[in-house]
Amino acid sequence: MKQDFITVKKFNFPTDVPVVQSYLMMRGIETYMKNMVTNQLAFPIGDIEMQVDSSDYEQAKDALIEGGFSQPEDFAELK
C-alpha cells in the first residue's frame, strides 16, 4: 500500500526538529523528516520538511497550532 505524505512544517536548522517531533509523537502522530540527513552531514542548508501521512494531516495541523509551533496561516502555503 502506497503512503502519501504531506509536509506540515519546515525547519531551517536540524536542532529545531526534536522538540516538535517529540510533541507530535506524544500525540500519536508519526513524522517523517525529508532532507534531515543532508542537513546533519553537511553545513545546514535548511529546507528540512516534517511530513505526516495524509490521513494524519488535520490532526498534525491542529496539534502544531495548539502547541504554539505554527499559526493557522502557515498552512495556506504548505498544502
Give residue limits of the domains in the chain. 5-78
Residue 5 has pLDDT above 70, yes or no: yes
23-60 burial code (b ≥16 CB/10 A, e <16)? bbeeeebebebeebeebeeeeeeeebbbbbeeebbeeb
CA distances from residue 32 to 3, 24, 36, 66 in whole angstroms, order as listed = 12, 11, 9, 20
Give the tens place of pLDDT for each residue, 57-78: 999 999 999 999 999 998 886 5
Domain 5-78 has CATH 3.30.70: yes
pTM for the full model? 0.80
Contact between 76 and 61 (Cβ < 8 Å): no
